[in-house]
Structure 1
Amino acid sequence: MKWLLIPSCALALFCASAHASRLSEYIASPALQTKLQEVYGGRAIQRAEAFARMLSPRAGTTDQQKIELVNNYFNNLTYSEDKKLWGDDDYWANPLEFIGARGGDCEDYSISKYYTLMELGVDEKKLRLAYVKAVKYNQFHMVTLYFPTQKSDPLVLDNINNRILPGSKRTDLIPVYSFDAKSIWIMKSRREGTLAGSADRLAQWTSMKTRFSSEQLRQPRRQL
C-alpha cells in the first residue's frame, strides 16, 4: 500500500494557555481541574493527571517510545459513537474533551494522538492525519501517521488495531485523503495525491480548532 506523504507546514494552533507554560503544567493547574470536574466529574481529574504525567517523559525517550506511549494511553479510552456520546452525527472532540469524556470515536483518538505527539517534541513534519476506508467494517475511519523519514513507509496509530504497523502492512485500510493543520490532499489512487486546498474546508476540523484555542469544553449527553 502506498500512503500519501504531505509536505510540512507550521502548526498554527494549540491551547492558548500552553503558549505561556508547558501543557503538562497547565493540565495540572487547579483552574483546569476545577473546570474538568464541573463538566465531566471528579474522575476526569485523575485522567488529566495521568495525561500530564505522560507529557513529562524521561530524557532520551525516542520517537518510537513516544508513539507507543501515546497510542497505548489513548487506546485505553472507550470507543463511543458521536450520536450516543455527544448527540451529534459527527463531532470532532478536542483532546481535553476526549480525555474529559473518557472516550470518543476514531477522529477523537487520532486528533489527540497527533497533538500529544507534537507536544512531546515529535517533529510535526513526521505527523499526519489520514482518512481511510476500513475494509473490514466497510466504513470511513481516521488514523494518525508517523513518518520516520520523509520517504519512509509511515507507521499507523489506530484505535481498531493496537499494533503500530507500517502502512504497507495495513491492507485493511484504503487511504482516501490526508491533512494537517493547514492543507488537505485527496488520494487519486494508492500512488498519487492531489493538493485540494485548505484543511479549513473540513467543517468539523475548523470547529475543533476554534473550541480548542478558546478552551471550550463540551459536556457529553451521557457518561462513559
Structure 2
Amino acid sequence: MSSPFAHLRRWIFLLCLLTLPAWSGWDFDKLVKLAQQRYGATAAKLVADTQQVLSASKTLAEAEKLKRVNEFFNRRLQFQDDSTIWQQTDYWATPLETLGKGAGDCEDFAIVKYFALKELGVSAEKLRMSYVKAKIGGSNSTVTQAHMVLTYYPSPDAEPLVLDNLITEIRPASRRPDLTPVFSFNSEGIFTGSGVQPSGSIDRLSRWKDVLLRMQSDGIAF
C-alpha cells in the first residue's frame, strides 16, 4: 500500500509539470511560419539560416560562439534607422522583427545577438546590452552620439569584450577608446558602472519589457 507521502510527491510532480513552460529558447518552427506570413520568403529563409547557424554552433567553445554570432548578424543584417524601418524615432525590435526586415539599428543588433547567444547556452550573467557614447570619427573626436553594443564578461570582474555592429572584430573594452559606457542591462536587471550585481530592476526600462513580452508571442521565451 502506498504511503500518503507518495501521493503528495505525485501531486507536487504534476503541479511542477503544469507550471513549467512548454518550451524555452527559440521555437524555430513557429518563427519560420510567422516570418513567412508577415514578411515573405526572404525573411523565412533568413530565420531558417539563423537556425542552421545556431544549431551548428552549439558545441563550439564560448569564444567561437561569440565570433560566429557576431559575424553572422553583422553580415546578414543591414543597419538602418528606426525612422526608415518603423517610421518611429525609437523602436526596439524583437529578433523576429529584425530578421523579418533584414535590418535594424544598434539596439536591434544587440538584442538579436543577446538572445542568439543565450540560445547557445551562454549565461545571461555574462551578457549585457550596454548603452555608450560613441565618438564619431575616432577616439579623438569631440562629436558623440548614443549607441548600443553587446558586452560579454568571461567572469564577473573581467574586462568585457565588445560585440558591435559597426566593427565586426570583437575587441576588449580597453581597445575601444571611442566608446564611453553609460549603463548596461540584461534580463536580470540594470547595471551601473562596473558593478557585478544589478543596481536596478528592468521595470525601469519600458521598451525592454515590451520587447520581452512581444518575443514570447513571436516564439522566443527564456
* Superposition TM-score tier, normalisation by shorter sequence: 0.7 to 0.9
Please name the residue that 1:158 is paired with. 164
Q: Note closer, same or farther for the CA distance 1:195–1:42 as it changes in structure 2 (3 Å cut).
A: closer
Correspondent of 1:178 among 184, 206, 212: 184
Select which of 199, 210, 213 maps to 2:216. Answer: 213
Query: For 1:98-152, what per-residue CA distance to the aligned partner results, in whole angstroms no more than 9, with x for missing partners?
Result: 1111010000000111111011011222111110000126111111111122221
> Match for residue 50 of structure 1?
49
Q: Note the aligned Cα RMSD (angstroms).
A: 2.2
Q: Does the CA contact (< 8 Å) of 1:70 and 1:116 recur in 2?
A: yes
Q: TM-score, normalised by structure 2?
A: 0.79
Q: TM-score, normalised by structure 1?
A: 0.78
**2:81 counterpart of 1:75:** no
The answer to whether structure 1 residue 133 and structure 2 residue 139 are counterparts is no
Aligned to 2:150: 144
Matched positions, count:
192
- Give structure 1 stretches of 5+ with no counterpart: 1-17, 217-224
Bigger radius of gyration: 2
Aligned to 1:105: 105
Question: What letter corresponds to residue 120 of structure 2 in structure 1?
Answer: L
State the distance in 2 between where 1:184 and 1:34 align.
34
Structure 1 distance, partners of 2:59, 2:213, is 34
The alpha-carbon distance between structure 1 residues 52 and 134, as it changes in their structure 2 partners (threshold 3 A), is same
Distance 1:149 1:42 in 2: 41
Stretch of structure 1 that moved more, 67-76 or 177-186: 177-186
User: 1:33 and 1:59, CA in 2 relative to 1: closer, same or farther beyond 3 A?
Assistant: closer
In the other structure, the counterpart of 1:15 is none
- Structure 2 vs 1, CA of residues 161 and 115 (structure 1 numbering), >3 Å: closer, same or farther? same
Greater fraction of residues in helix = 2
Identity of aligned residues (%): 39
Counterpart residue number, 2:16: none
Contact 2:95 2:108 in 1 (8 A): yes
Residue 174 of structure 1 aligns to a residue in which SS? Answer: strand
